[in-house]
């Protein structure tokens, strides 16, 4: 059946005689493209390899060749059809390239190398990033049609290390024995909305309302990225906006600069880790005391009484064997973030107090694909895959691909 389909496809794509458009056609710069000859191209499609006859034109002023048919069929600069490239990039988004090229052969009888899967995935990932960036930037325009307002919008941010090749960490300090960094931080943001509550009165995230955006980039650049995504989602029509993150300073700098007036909330589960750091540093060998002390801190934190936790940590400084450096660090953490830890008040207002959606997102968007044992990425390569996965997991892949087809 593949052979019949391939023959019919080849006849169909060549029915126009090569898309000959006359002896000359205009160039974008005003020069004429002159017809030179007909040229054949071997094209790998989902039905197999076909030969495409194309009229070839050349602009002597710009010194550039052009086949109108290549543009019409979306095969400029490639020997893979749009459908094959879609399959290659989708496989590359989910699977290591070496396994991805095997999947393509096993499932679709498409024979391509792992390196080609990588190359196409990076190319399409770059296109997806450009499309979504342009769409997000357009959300700042006054010409956007208003969407239905939502009572509550959440903007969550986090970072996770991605293993990279050595050249990407040149001059960067790390935690390894040699002091050299082995990873670069990928910053990931997600935006979701909430309109309802469960039977116990707890907030419930709206179905299919979560979108992701991220990259290995500076906090300043990422701040613009996540702001534009929030605006695309209708932040200016949200009744209330909440920013949730851990204690990383870059997150709260972005919150202050890009989301002024939003309610800032430190993820409750991250906050709990910090009083546990103190407990292990001061009561590590005394399990009864450790669990008693942490249970008291848990109640204080749930009540939003970060100041009481600071008092309790200060009291630990006089204990024999206590790690003063850890205590001082966590005192600073709870002091700096106390207004972001009013959990009792946040719950009364019906707000989320945890960023579980983003925690899962870091694992799903980044960890499951980019942090396998033995992987080492270039920043460009990692960002391409992150863009693909954000597009797919935000349910925007079809929008992107339809835009490509229409362009």
pLDDT digits 0-9 by tens, 181-198: 899 999 999 999 999 999
**Average confidence score pLDDT of the chain:** 92
Confidence of residue 301 (pLDDT cuts 50, 70, 90): very high
pLDDT digits (tens, 9 = 90+) for 256-265: 999 999 999 9
**Model confidence at 137: pLDDT above 80:** yes
Confidence of residue 357 (pLDDT cuts 50, 70, 90): confident
Confidence of residue 361 (pLDDT cuts 50, 70, 90): confident
The pLDDT of residue 321: 84
Is residue 46 a contact partner of residue 95, using CB atoms and an 8 Å limit?
no
pLDDT digits (tens, 9 = 90+) for 270-284: 999 999 999 999 988
**Model confidence at 221: pLDDT above 80:** yes
Q: Residues near 102 by Cβ (< 8 Å), separated by ≥ 6?
A: none
The pLDDT of residue 147: 63
Strands 203-205 and 263-266: unpaired
- DSSP classification of residue 64: E
Residue holding tokens 């080609």?
Answer: 116
Q: Residues near 271 by Cβ (< 8 Å), separated by ≥ 6?
A: 247, 301, 334, 337, 341
Is residue 82 a contact partner of residue 74, using CB atoms and an 8 Å limit?
yes
- Answer positive or negative: Cα dihedral of 115, 76, 129, 44: negative
For the ranges 33-42, 166-175, 238-247, the lowest mean pLDDT is seen at 166-175
**Model confidence at 266: pLDDT above 90:** yes
Of 267 and 180, the structure prediction assigns the larger pLDDT to 267
**Model confidence at 140: pLDDT above 90:** no
**Model confidence at 23: pLDDT above 90:** yes
| Adjacent-strand bridge partners of 377 | 164
Gap between the Cα atoms of 295 and 304, Å rounded? 14
The pTM of the whole model exceeds 0.75: yes
The pLDDT of residue 360: 84
Average pLDDT over residues 221-234: 95
**Model confidence at 250: pLDDT above 90:** yes
CA distances (Å), origin 64, targets 39, 72, 181: 15, 18, 44
Confidence of residue 4 (pLDDT cuts 50, 70, 90): confident
The pLDDT of residue 406: 65
Gap between the Cα atoms of 353 and 303, Å rounded? 12
Average pLDDT over residues 208-215: 95
Tell which residue, 78, 73, 77, 79, has the closest CA to residue 16: 73
Tell which residue, 197, 206, 213, 199, has the closest CA to residue 238: 206
pLDDT digits (tens, 9 = 90+) for 161-176: 999 999 999 888 877 6
- DSSP classification of residue 364: I
**Model confidence at 1: pLDDT above 60:** no
The pLDDT of residue 145: 56
Q: Name the burial class of residue 399, with classes exposed (0-12), middle (13-18) and buried (19+) by CB atoms within 10 angstroms of its CB.
A: middle
The pLDDT of residue 407: 61
Confidence of residue 315 (pLDDT cuts 50, 70, 90): very high
Average pLDDT over residues 126-150: 79
The pLDDT of residue 144: 58
């Amino acid at each position: 059946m593949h052979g019949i389909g391939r023959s019919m496809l080849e006849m169909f794509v060549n029915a126009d005689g090569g898309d000959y458009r006359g002896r000359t056609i205009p160039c974008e710069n005003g020069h004429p493209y002159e017809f030179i000859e007909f040229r054949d191209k071997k094209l790998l499609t989902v039905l197999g390899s076909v030969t495409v006859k194309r009229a070839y034109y050349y602009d002597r002023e710009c010194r550039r060749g052009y086949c109108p048919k290549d543009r019409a069929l979306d095969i400029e600069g490639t020997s893979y059809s749009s459908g094959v490239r879609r399959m290659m990039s989708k496989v590359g988004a989910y699977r290591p390239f070496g396994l991805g090229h095997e999947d393509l052969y096993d499932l679709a009888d498409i024979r391509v190398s792992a390196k080609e899967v990588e190359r196409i995935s990076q190319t399409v990932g770059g296109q997806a990033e450009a499309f979504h960036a342009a769409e997000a930037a357009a959300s700042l325009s006054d010409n956007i049609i208003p969407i239905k307002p939502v009572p509550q919008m959440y903007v969550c941010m986090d970072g996770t290390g991605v293993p990279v090749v050595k050249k990407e960490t040149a001059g960067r300090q790390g935690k390894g024995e040699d002091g050299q960094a082995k990873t670069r931080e990928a910053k990931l943001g997600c935006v979701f909305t909430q309109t309802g509550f469960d039977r116990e009165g707890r907030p419930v995230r709206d179905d299919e309302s979560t979108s992701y955006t991220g990259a290995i980039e500076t906090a300043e650049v990422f701040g613009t990225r996540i702001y534009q995504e929030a605006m695309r989602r209708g932040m200016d029509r949200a009744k209330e906006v909440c920013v949730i993150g851990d204690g990383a300073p870059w997150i709260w700098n972005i919150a202050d600069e890009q989301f002024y007036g939003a309610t800032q909330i430190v993820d409750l589960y991250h906050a709990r880790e910090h009083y546990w750091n103190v407990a292990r540093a001061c009561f590590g060998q005394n399990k009864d005391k450790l669990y008693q002390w942490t249970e008291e801190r848990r109640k204080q934190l749930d009540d939003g009484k970060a100041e009481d936790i600071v008092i309790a940590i200060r009291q630990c400084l006089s204990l024999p064997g206590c790690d003063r450096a850890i205590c001082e660090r966590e005192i600073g953490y709870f002091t700096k973030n106390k207004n972001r830890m009013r959990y009792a008040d946040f719950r009364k207002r019906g707000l989320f107090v945890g960023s579980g959606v983003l925690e899962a997102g870091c694992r799903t968007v980044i960890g499951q694909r980019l942090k396998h044992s033995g992987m080492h990425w270039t920043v460009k390569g990692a960002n391409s895959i992150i863009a693909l996965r954000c597009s797919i997991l935000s349910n925007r892949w079809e929008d992107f691909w339809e835009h490509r087809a229409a362009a």
